[in-house]
Amino acid sequence: MSNFIVFKNKIKKFNKAITVSGDKSISIRWVLFSSLAKGVSSAKNLLLSEDVVAAINIIKKLGIKTKLKNNQCRIFGNGIDGYKYRKNIVIDAKNSGTLGRLILGLLINTPFPIKLIGDKSLSKRDFKRVSDPLSKFGAKFKLNNKKYLPLKIWGSPNLKPINFFENKGSAQCKSSVIFGSMRTNGTTFIKAKKSRNHTELLYKFLGLPIKIKNKRTYDEIKVSKINLIKPLNYTIPADLSSSAFFIVLTALSKNSELVIKNVNINPTRIGIIKILKKMGIIIRNKNKRIYKGEVIADLKIKSSKSIKSINCPVKLNSSAIDEFLIIFLVAAKAKGISYFKNLSELNQKESPRLKWGEYILKEMGVKTITTKDSIKIYGNPNLKIDKKIIIKNYLKDH
C-alpha cells in the first residue's frame, strides 16, 4: 500500500512559508555543462530526483568523476573533449526526456557507437525530433521503429554547422541542437519558437559563443564551436513546477496564505502564474533578484474567494507545459467554461497528459469536451467530491 497517498480530511486554513526542491531543468543542465567544463564545478540544492541521478550516472559512464553528498554535488570535468568514449557504452536516461534529448547533442562526436536506453515511458516518446537535426550535423542514428528508444548514435569527426527551425516550442529540441553546435566548426542558426531558455542563459553566464535576437514569437539563435567551458558553481533555485501544487492548493483553500521561497520565475516558465492571475488568483513576487541570468523571487499566494474561467491564450502554452494538469483543477472550480487549445504537445510527455486530465476531471464529476489537442472544462465553484477516487500512476510522470 505504500504507493498510495490517501487524502481523507479537509486541510485546515494555513499561513506558512515553505521551500520546495531544486529546479529540474537547471539541475540537469548544470550536470551536463559541468561534465564538459575544465575543472571542478559544484552545485548546492541540486534536485535529487531519478532524472538528475540518471544524468550523473551517464556522465560517470562517460568517464567523468563526480561526488554527491545530500543535495550538494561536485563534478570534476576534463574539458570539452573530456568524455572517455569506449566501445559498447550503454547509457540510460531512465524517465527523462530532457536528459535523453540533451545528452545526444553532446555525443555527436563519439568515435564508437553509443546505445541510449530509457524506461517504459521514455521508450514510447519521439526521439526522431532530435535525431533528425543532429543527423544534419553529420552524426548517424538507428532508432527503434525509426522514432523511439533504444537508439544508437554514431558520431562523426567531420561535423558541419546546420540551420534548424524548431517549430514545436520544445526547449529539449532547441537545447539538443545548441549542444550539437558546440562540437562543430562554423555557425549554427536556430529559429526557435519560444520555449524555456535555461541553456541560452547558461551560455551567456559562462561567456560561451551565443547571439540571440528575440522576435515576438520566435528567437533567432546563432551558436558556434566551444573550446573551453569554465567550472560552474551554482545554487539551484526552487522549481516552479514543484511549487505549482502548493500554489494551487493555496488558491483553492479557504482563508490561507503561503510563501514559497527562492522560486525560479524565469519569464519563459511562468505560464502558470500568468494563467492563474487571469483567473483572479492573487500571486505576488517578493525579493525579486537576478541570479546567473535567472530571475528568482519568493512567491506569495492567497486563497481565492472567486475564480474566473479562462480562454487560455495559446502563447502561454509552452511556458506552462508541465503545469496544465494542475491548472485544469483550478478551471474545475472556476465560474464558467474554460478553454485550453493547441495542446498536442501535452500528449507527447511522460504520460499522455491531456487524456489524463480528461480522465481525472471526469472521475471528479467535472464535465469536459476534449479533442486531440484541446479541452473545454465546465467549472463549478461548488464542486464537491463525495466518492473515493483512485488515480493510478500507470506511467511515471512528474
DSSP 15: E
- Output 97 or 379, the one with its CB closest to ligand S3P: 97
* CB contact at 8 A, 144 and 150: yes
- Output 25 or 303, the one with its CB closest to ligand S3P: 25
List the one residue from 21, 45, 49, 98 that touches ligand S3P (CB under 6 A): 98
Please count the other Cβ atoms lying within 10 Å of the Cβ belonging to residue 376: 17
Question: Any contact of residue 321 with ligand S3P (CB under 6 A)?
Answer: yes
Question: Any contact of residue 170 with ligand S3P (CB under 6 A)?
Answer: yes
Sheet holding 210-214, edge to edge: 163-166, 187-193, 218-224, 210-214
Of the candidates 274, 371, 262, 369, which has an alpha carbon nearest to the alpha carbon of residue 317?
A: 274
Subset of 4-33 contacting ligand S3P (CB under 6 A): 25
Question: Any contact of residue 196 with ligand S3P (CB under 6 A)?
Answer: yes
Question: Any contact of residue 95 with ligand S3P (CB under 6 A)?
Answer: no
Phi, psi of 350 (to 5 degrees): -55, -30
- Output 103 or 259, the one with its CB closest to ligand S3P: 103
User: Which range, of 59-67, 170-178, 244-252, 367-375, touches ligand S3P by CB under 6 A?
Assistant: 170-178
The CA R_g of the chain, rounded to the nearest whole Å, is 21
From residue 302, alpha-carbon distances to 192, 380, 381 in Å are 36, 20, 17
Subset of 200-259 contacting ligand S3P (CB under 6 A): none
**Residue 322 annotated as catalytic:** yes
Query: From CA 398, how far away is CA 388, in angstroms rounded?
Result: 23
- Output 259 or 375, the one with its CB closest to ligand S3P: 375
Q: Measured from the CB of residue 106, what is the shortest distance to ligand S3P in angstroms?
A: 14
Q: Measured from the CB of residue 336, what is the shortest distance to ligand S3P in angstroms?
A: 28
Sheet holding 294-302, edge to edge: 15-18, 257-264, 294-302, 283-291
* CB contact at 8 A, 184 and 159: yes
Q: Please give the full DSSP string across 269-287, using - where no structure is assigned.
A: TTHHHHHHHHTT--EEEEE
Q: Measured from the CB of residue 21, what is the shortest distance to ligand S3P in angstroms?
A: 14
Question: Any contact of residue 368 with ligand S3P (CB under 6 A)?
Answer: no
SS3 content of the chain, % helix, strand, coil (to 5): 30, 30, 40
List the one residue from 49, 66, 109, 172 that touches ligand S3P (CB under 6 A): 172
Query: From CA 105, how far away is CA 87, in angstroms rounded?
Result: 19
Query: From CA 294, how far away is CA 316, in angstroms rounded?
Result: 19
Question: Any contact of residue 171 with ligand S3P (CB under 6 A)?
Answer: yes
Please count the other Cβ atoms lying within 10 Å of the Cβ belonging to residue 78: 17
Encoded amino acid at 391, one letter: I
Question: Any contact of residue 264 with ligand S3P (CB under 6 A)?
Answer: no
Question: Any contact of residue 377 with ligand S3P (CB under 6 A)?
Answer: no
Strands 257-264 and 15-18: parallel
Q: Measured from the CB of residue 16, what is the shortest distance to ligand S3P in angstroms?
A: 27
* Binding string, residues 325-364; x marks residues near ligand S3P by CB under 6 A: --------------------x-------------------
Phi, psi of 249 (to 5 degrees): -55, -45
User: Which range, of 84-92, 142-150, 165-173, 275-283, touches ligand S3P by CB under 6 A?
Assistant: 165-173
- Output 47 or 366, the one with its CB closest to ligand S3P: 47
List the one residue from 322, 346, 353, 357 that touches ligand S3P (CB under 6 A): 322
Question: Of all residues in this chain, which one has the CB nearest to ligand S3P in the complex?
Answer: 25
Catalytic residue among 81, 132, 322, 373: 322
- Contacts with ligand S3P by CB under 6 A lie at 25, 97-98, 170-172, 175, 195-196, 321-322, 345
> Among all residues, which ones are annotated catalytic?
322
